[in-house]
Structure 1
């Protein structure tokens, strides 16, 4: 399973979804799905824009976690 840390990062910086969407140019719906971890896919351009905006690496935004059922 892929865990998205966007909500934590945004919370630490006290940012709203609309702020991140406006500053990155990413659709607000995409940010919302990532924030709530309901996204099933994301464009690489969006990942790049988020990494640039937050000054982080891809691994800071996303983490692979093994399922305990495996």
Structure 2
């Protein structure tokens, strides 16, 4: 259980670092969570999907491909 929690924390730190350095659009995860919560989705569902988008990239959201991880 600790390993899974650590993996989530590591991914979030990576996202925040990339946002801070301009490698990812600023506050895109937060915006997606707020918008999706209004549509009835859980924050966890949105966060998992965002992790996948970072892995594969998304031109629509301004997330470059190549992070793979």
> For this structure pair, what is the TM-score category when the shorter chain's length is used for normalisation?
0.3 to 0.5
TM-score, length of structure 1 as denominator length? 0.39
Q: Quick check: which one's strand share is greater?
A: 1
Q: Quick check: which one's helix share is greater?
A: 2
Instruction: For CA contacts below 8 A with separation 6 or more, give which structure has more relative contact order.
Output: 1
